[in-house]
Structures are given as C-alpha cells and as structure tokens.
Amino acid sequence: MKLSKSSTTYFQKTALILVTAIIAGLIFMADLYTGAEVAIASMYAVVILYSWVLPGRYSSIYAALACSVLTVISAFQNPVSDGVPEQLYALNWVISLVVIWTCLTLVFIAKSSFANLEEINRRLAVSSAALLEKVKELDTQKLELSENKRKLEALNADLIVKNRELERFTSIASHDLQEPLRTIGNMTQLISRKYYGSFDDQGKKILEYVTAAATRMTALVKGLLEFSRIGSKRFVQKVNLEELVQNIVLDFEVVIKAAEAKLVIESLPSIQGNPVELRMLFQNLIGNALKFRKEGLQPIVEISAVDRGELVEFCVRDNGIGIDPSDYEKVFFIFQRLNSNEKYEGSGLGLAYCRKIVELHGGKIWIDSTKGMGSSFYFTLKKSYDRET
C-alpha cells in the first residue's frame, strides 16, 4: 500500500525531530554524569547545527532554548568535585550557553544566506526561462523573416522577368504598330494630294479626321516606345543640373517669349545620374508648367532644390491651372489626360516618364496642387547613384 505524499512528509519530519531529541538526550546524560569541570554542554552545538534541517521557521530557536534549559538543569544537578574551583563550574556553564547561542546565530546567518541564494536562483531561473522564451521567439521570427525574404526574392525575380517581358512586348508592339501607321499616313497624304479636290465638304472632313487620327496614333506609339526604352542601356555620370536646366530653358526660349513667362531658377546641385533621363525629367516638368498656364496671367515657373542628406529634394512650381487632389495619382499613369487634346496638345506620357525616371534614380515624386491655383511637383534624387544597367 502506497503512502500519500503528505503522510511521507509527516514521517520524515517526525524522524528528524526524534533524531534531534535522541542526540540532545545523549548529550544531557553525558553532561549530567560528568564532572562539572568539563564543559560537555558545549556539544549541544551539534544539536543546534542539526536543527537546520528541522521543519518549522523557528525550530532552531526552540532547539537552542531546550539545550539551554538542559544545560542549566545539568549544572545544578552535577556534584561538585573536591579541589575544583567554583569559578570553573560557572565558566564552563557560561561557555556552554555562549556556544549554544553562537551556533544559533550562525545557523540563522546561514539560513538567511541560503534563502537569499535560493531567491537569487529563483530569479535567475525565471530570467533564464524568459530569456529562453525570447530566444525561441527570436528564432521563430528569424525563420519567418528568412521565409518572407525567400518569398520576396522569388517575387522580385518573377517581377523582374515579367517587367522585361512587358518591356520587350511593348517595344515589339510599338515597332510593329509603326509600320501600318506609316502606311496609313502615307496613303492619306497621297489621297490628299491627288483626290482632295474631288471630295465634297464631308469627304474632306473625313479625310482630315483620318489624317489627324493617324498622326496622333503615331505620336502615341512613338511615346510608348520611348517609355519602354527608359532605363535600358543606361550609363551614370556626374550631371550638373543647373547647367542642364539652363540648356532646357534655351530650348524653350520661343515658348517662353511667346507666353511672356518668368522663370526663377535657384542654385541646383550636381548629382550622379543618367544625363539623358534627367534632361527628359526636367524638360517634361518645365514644359508642362509652360503649357498648362492660366489665360490672362503671366506664367511664373520656380525651380528649387533642398539638401535632404543622401537625397536632394527638388520642386518645380507654377501658377497655372492646377490639378484636383483626386487626380494626383492618375496623372502619373501612361495615356492619362486631364484636359482635352484640342486645348492642350500632348500624348499623356510626360508625367509617366517623370515617375519612371525618378524611381530609377532612387527617389519618389509627388504633387501639391489646388485646382486653379497652380501646381508644385516635388521629387527626390539620390546624390550618389552608381547603378549601371
């Protein structure tokens, strides 16, 4: 029959107390039948030290009190031997009591130190468990991060392949579309030269519509082809943007004079980049600022730059017709126009060019504009850009 855990503990405690009592009894008997000239009672130190293992918080104190009482009893019961000074009896009695209570003090100091050590061990165990859990959590996060990184790399590789396929398709499609468009354009020109006078007014209008549509389509296909080529066969060098913008302004000299526009160009830095793409970027933004001007108001175009650490933040600001906030994202997609082609000519590709060029140079582009109050195009470019493709 198995004993319960509580019964086993009870018997263990009883056995410890019984052993302590037997040791104390043996020392008492030895002290009682030995001459008082010998401090046998000091052997109670064994009982006090043994009381460490006794159950109960104050068991050592109880043991010390019991041993002190037994020492006093044996002191009064011991016969006085002839020729032994009485001071020796008293001294042995005092020594025994001092030993008993000194051992008690040592036991309490040891118990206190042991308790502190156990508390330190407990805290260390808790900290170790928490640290182990943290390590396990970090290992799990590391595995998840590695898996996510692997998936991201796979997606990036797939995206690169698809982008190349798309660029190749765009390039091929643009090339293939140009030939029939040239044929349509040549045929409409031939018909106009030879048979224009033979058409009535409606026929002439139809021929003009076809010619204009073929011209617009040719411009769109050409723009699409140029868009697909941005970023291919690139080279990077140091580009003086202030000099580049000044050259663009010279190209727009006729338009600037016709519109009586005012250009304010602040100091612009030199950066690492592709000069052809950067020229296309600033040319499109300045051209749009001059094109989308308000009637009856002198166009003012401001170009500035602010150092942002590794990046340079540029701004091309105008006082033109502005853009509605709901169209901020729309304008950066290809073939997206906010105004009719009759009023403002264009292919709807200019800002798409700009975004692609800015992203290729490690930056981003955004708009701050109010309809009818002008627009501010902000974009960032890396100062040092050493990627070559």
- Overall average pLDDT of the 219-225 stretch: 63
Give the domain ranges of the chain: 5-131, 233-382
Distances (CA, A) of 234 to 230, 237, 274, 284, 364: 8, 10, 7, 19, 19
Please tell me whether residue 271 adopts helix, strand or coil conformation.
strand
Contact 382, 269 (CB under 8 A): no
Mean pLDDT of the chain: 78
Say what angle helices 5-32 and 59-77 make with each other, to 10 degrees: 20
Would you state the pLDDT for residue 240?
A: 93
Tell which wins on pLDDT, 293 or 182. Answer: 293
pLDDT confidence band for 334 (50 / 70 / 90)? low
Tell which wins on pLDDT, 379 or 211. Answer: 379
The pLDDT tens digits of the residues spanning 240-263 come to 999 999 998 988 888 889 888 899
Q: Where do the H-state alpha helices sit in the chain?
A: 5-32, 44-50, 59-77, 86-195, 201-229, 241-251, 253-259, 275-291, 350-360
Say what angle helices 86-195 and 201-229 make with each other, to 10 degrees: 150
* Cα separation, 352 vs 4, whole angstroms: 83
Of the listed ranges 97-106, 213-222, 289-298, the least confidently predicted one is 213-222
Domain 233-382 - what CATH class?
alpha beta
- Overall average pLDDT of the 339-365 stretch: 75
Of the listed ranges 14-18, 164-168, 184-188, the least confidently predicted one is 164-168
- Overall average pLDDT of the 295-308 stretch: 90
Would you state the pLDDT for residue 380?
A: 93
- Overall average pLDDT of the 349-375 stretch: 86
- Overall average pLDDT of the 51-66 stretch: 74
- Overall average pLDDT of the 74-90 stretch: 60
Highest-confidence segment of 7-16, 19-28, 210-219, 283-292: 283-292
> Could you tell me if residue 322 is left (phi over 0), alpha (psi between -120 and 50 degrees) or otherwise beta?
left
- Predicted confidence (pLDDT) at residue 31 exceeds the cutoff of 50: yes
- Predicted confidence (pLDDT) at residue 305 exceeds the cutoff of 90: yes
- Predicted confidence (pLDDT) at residue 381 exceeds the cutoff of 80: yes
In terms of Cβ atoms closer than 10 Å to its own Cβ (0-12, 13-18, 19+), residue 318 is buried
DSSP state of 181: H
Q: Which two tokens stand for residue 70?
A: 């037994």
DSSP codes joined into one string, 80-149: PPTT--HHHHHHHHHHHHHHHHHHHHHHHHHHHHHHHHHHHHHHHHHHHHHHHHHHHHHHHHHHHHHHHH
Question: Closest Cα partner for 237 from 276, 275, 280, 277?
Answer: 275
